[in-house]
Amino acid sequence: GSILAMAREEPEDTVPLLQGPGKAPADEAYDAELDASTRRGALMFAAKWAQQGVYLSYLGLYLSYLGYPLMDIGVLYTLLMVGMALGSYLLPMVADRARRHTAVALASHALGTCTLFSLAFLPSGTAYFSVTATLVTFGNFWNGGFGPLVDSAVFQICAKYSNAKNSGAPARRSADFGRMRLWGCVSWGVAVWVTSAVVSIAGVTLRSVWYAYIILAPLTSYFSYHLLSAEFPSGAKPASPPRPPSTPPSLVEDPPKKQYNATDTPATAAPQPPREDTGQPPKDRGHSAGLLSSLRVWVSLPLVPPFLLSLFILGALFATLNTYVYLWAVDTLGASYVTIGTATVLLNLCEIVVFLYSRQAAAVLGVHGVLYLSVVAYGVRLFAYAYWVRDPWWIVVFEPLHALTFSLPMGTLGTFTTKTADEVGAPRVSAQGLRTGTMNAGRAAGFLVSAYLFEYFSATFMFKWMAFIAMPIMFAGVVALEIAAVKAGLSEVLFPDSDDPTAAHKRRPWSVGWRFEKSTPSSSRASSSTDEKEEGKESMLPPRV
C-alpha cells in the first residue's frame, strides 16, 4: 500500500514505479506517431497504385486497340520511361531547391493525370503517332517527378522511426516500408479487377479505362497531400518523433560527424556538433553550398556508381520480362486471358507476402544480398523462357518470381539511398530522384532493345540476349558495390534495414565481398581505437561541400 501511495504522489513528468503491462507516456506517444505516419504512407500507396495500376495494366492493350504495331508500342513505352526518368531527375531537385515539396508533387500529379487522360480522345490509327508520343512523354515526365517525392516521404518515415542501435538506446518499434507498400499491391489488383469486370460486363471500349484513371486521381492527390504535409510541414524540414523526456541526449542524438569544406582534409576538419535526429539532414544541406555540388559528392561516393549501374540493369530486365512476356505468351504460346489473369493474381499475392517480410530479409541479407537474389531469380525466369517453357500455363509458375526479382529489393534500395545520402550530407529527395530516374532510364533502354529483338528476331532470342548480356552486368555491378563498401570501410551501410548493422555485416560468409575482405591485410581494415576507425572511415569519403 505504501508503494502504491508513493507512485500516486510522483510528479506528472515521471514514469510511475508500477506500470504493469502498460507503456511509458513517451513510448505511447512514439507508437501513436509511428502508427499515424505508417497509416498515411499506406493510404498514399493504396491510392497511388490503384490509379497507376489501371493505367499501366491497360496502356499496351489500349495502344494495340488504336492500331499501333509492336515496334511502335515499344517506342512509345521507351518514350514513357524517358519522360519518367527526366521527371525523376529534375522535379525532385526543383522541390529541394524551392523547398516546396508538397506543392511540386501535387502540381506534378495533376499535370500528369490531365495529360495522360487526353489519350482517351485520340482517334484510331497510326496517323497521330507524334501526338500520342508527345502526350505519353510529357504525361510521364510529371508522373516521374511525383513518384520520388511521395516515395521520399515514406523513406523519411523509415529513417525517423528506425530501431538501429545507437549508443545503447532502448529498443523500439521501427517503420517498415514493405508493410506500407503492400497496400499498393492490394489496391492495384482490386482496381484492375473491377475495371476489367466493368469493361467486360458493360461491353464498353478500352477508352473507358481512362475514365477509371481520372476518377481515382482525387484520392491519390488527397492522401499524398496528407503524407507530404506531415513530412514536409515547412517545405523542407520534417516533424521530429516524440522523445522520452528522461532519456539522456547521448541516446537520441547521432554521434558527431566531421563536416568538410572543399579545402579540408580528414585530419584538419573540425567536428560537427551533435544534431537532433529529425529524420532529414540539417535544413541548409544541399542549399548553402549548392544542390548540384552536394549531389556530385553523393555520386562520387565509392558505393554509388556500381549501385546506380545495378539499378539501370534492374530496370532493363524489368522492362523485358514484365511487358513482353505476356505478349509472347498470348501471340506465340496461345495463352488465354484466364492464364494471364491467374498469373497476375498469384504474382500480386506473392508480392504481398514478400513485402510483409522484406525488411526482415533485407536486415539479414543487406542491399547487396537482395540484389544477388534478384539476379538469381531473373536468371531462372530468363533461362526458363528461353529454353524450356512451351506451355503457356508455366508462366503461372515463373511470373510470381517477380516478387523476388523486383519487389523484394524496393524497400532496401530506398533506405540505402537515404543512408548514403546522409553519409555525405546530400539532400534525400534529390538522391531518391536520381535512384528512381536511373531505374527508369534502364527501363527505357530495356523497352527499346527488347522491342527491337522481339520484332526483328524472336522472343526466345530476346530472353537469351538478356540472360547472357544484361544479367552478368547486373551481377558485376552488385559485386563492385560490395567490394567498394568493404574498401571504403562502409560495409555497415549495406545493411540499412538492420537493427544492428555491425553484427549483420559480420554474418555473411556467402558474400563475394567477404572473400575480398578476408584477403585484405587486417591492418588496412581495422584500427586500434574507435577514433582511428572513425578517421579511417571518413578518409575514404569524398570531401563534403
pLDDT tens-digit series, residues 386-415: 999 888 888 888 988 888 888 888 888 988
Confidence of residue 355 (pLDDT cuts 50, 70, 90): confident
Residue 246 has pLDDT above 80, yes or no: no
How much of the chain, in percent, has pLDDT values that exceed 70?
73
Please check whether residues 225 and 294 belong to one and the same domain.
no
* pLDDT value for 486: 87
If one compares 275 and 334, the residue with the highest pLDDT of the two is: 334
Three-point CA angle 111, 117, 118, nearest 5°: 95
Please give the average per-residue pLDDT across 442-459, as a whole number: 88
Please give the average per-residue pLDDT across 502-518, as a whole number: 46
pLDDT tens, position by position, 268-301: 344 444 334 444 444 444 344 466 777 888 888 8
Q: How many domains does the chain have?
A: 2
CB within 8 A of 458, min separation 6: which ones? none
Boundary (domain end) residue, out of 212, 240, 268:
240
- Grid cell, residue 129, equals 503517332
Confidence of residue 530 (pLDDT cuts 50, 70, 90): very low
Q: Is 258 helix (H, G, I), strand (E, B) or coil?
A: strand
Please check whether residues 220 and 111 belong to one and the same domain.
yes
Q: Is 166 helix (H, G, I), strand (E, B) or coil?
A: coil
Q: What is the DSSP string of 168-225?
A: TPPP-----HHHHHHHHHHHHHHHHHHHHHHHHHHT--GGGHHHHHHHHHHHHHHHHH
Per the CB < 8 A criterion, the answer to whether 252 and 162 are in contact is: no
Residue 311 has pLDDT above 90, yes or no: yes
Q: Would you say residue 85 lies in a domain?
A: yes
Q: Rounded CA gap, 505 and 137, in Å?
A: 42
Burial 298-313 (b: 16+ CB within 10 A, else e): bbebbbbebbbbbbbb
* pLDDT value for 516: 43
Please check whether residues 449 and 536 belong to one and the same domain.
yes
Range of the domain at 533: 289-545
Q: Would you say residue 313 lies in a domain?
A: yes
Please check whether residues 387 and 448 belong to one and the same domain.
yes
For 506, how many CA atoms within 13 A lie in the half-sphere containing its CB? 3
Average pLDDT of the chain to the nearest whole number? 77
* pLDDT value for 471: 92
Residue 450 has pLDDT above 50, yes or no: yes
Q: Would you say residue 480 lies in a domain?
A: yes
Q: Would you say residue 307 lies in a domain?
A: yes
Q: Would you say residue 384 lies in a domain?
A: yes
If one compares 365 and 281, the residue with the highest pLDDT of the two is: 365
If one compares 190 and 520, the residue with the highest pLDDT of the two is: 190
Please give the average per-residue pLDDT across 313-322, as a whole number: 88
pLDDT tens, position by position, 17-45: 344 455 566 677 888 888 999 999 999 99
Q: Rounded CA gap, 288 and 294, in Å?
A: 10
